[in-house]
């Protein structure tokens, strides 16, 4: 019986004392994993597209996520870019509405739809894109394009860009927009 009393007394004494050490390593491991996950998801956000006076994206109410692959073609008020490389300086806004990219940038004059400098840049981009698509197990014969265009881009210019993309085996287009309020 004395043994049971001694054990009970020892148990009562140990109830109010704190443990001598706390192992926080598992908690720190978990916090690092969460931090890496948040940084990765924020870097892939569509909000990373810079907007300024030369490029204002239209808004949409759709609830879909943007494509994560494809050739990025940006059409601002003053230029066309493939990736981060400027391929064509656009003429003034008034002439872009009627002639598109301008007669000097096309192989057959103002009435033509094919934009030569954009086509040359797409040809170079398709070499890389074919290799990436083959490595991902996708069909390397066709590609995707993410088109980032200013909301005031004339229809004629957008059609010329789409036509030029189509001439370089780009069959699927994603038009980038800003998420609007529903």
- Residue 62 and residue 122: Cα distance in Å, rounded? 29
Query: What pLDDT does residue 16 have?
Result: 57
Structure tokens at 125: 């981009």
**Domain layout of the chain by residue ranges:** 2-43, 59-179
Low-confidence residues in the chain, pLDDT < 50: 182
Which segments within the chain are labelled E, that is strand? 59-60, 71-75, 79-82, 85-89, 143-149, 170-176, 178-179
The bridge status of strand 170-176 relative to strand 143-149 is parallel
Query: What pLDDT does residue 182 have?
Result: 45
Query: What pLDDT does residue 171 have?
Result: 79
Cβ neighbour number for residue 153 with a 10 Å cutoff: 21
Query: What pLDDT does residue 100 have?
Result: 72
Selection from 182, 144, 174 nearest residue 46 by Cα: 174
pTM of the model: 0.61
């Amino acid at each position: 019986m004395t043994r049971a009393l001694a054990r009970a007394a020892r148990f009562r004494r140990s109830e109010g004392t704190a443990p001598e050490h706390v192992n926080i390593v598992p908690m720190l491991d978990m916090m690092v994993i969460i931090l890496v996950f948040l940084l990765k998801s924020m870097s892939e956000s569509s909000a990373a597209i810079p907007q300024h006076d030369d490029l204002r994206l239209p808004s949409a109410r759709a609830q879909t996520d943007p494509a994560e692959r494809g050739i990025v073609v940006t059409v601002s008020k003053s230029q066309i870019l493939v990736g981060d490389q400027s391929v064509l300086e656009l003429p003034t806004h008034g002439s872009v509405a009627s002639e598109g990219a301008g007669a000097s940038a096309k192989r057959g004059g103002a009435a033509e739809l094919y934009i030569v400098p954009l086509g040359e840049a797409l040809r170079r981009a398709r070499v890389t894109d074919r290799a990436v698509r083959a490595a991902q197990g996708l069909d390397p014969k066709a590609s995707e394009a993410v088109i980032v265009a200013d909301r005031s881009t004339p229809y004629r210019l957008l059609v010329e860009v789409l036509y030029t993309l189509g001439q370089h085996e780009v069959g699927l287009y994603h038009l980038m927009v800003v998420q609007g309020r529903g």
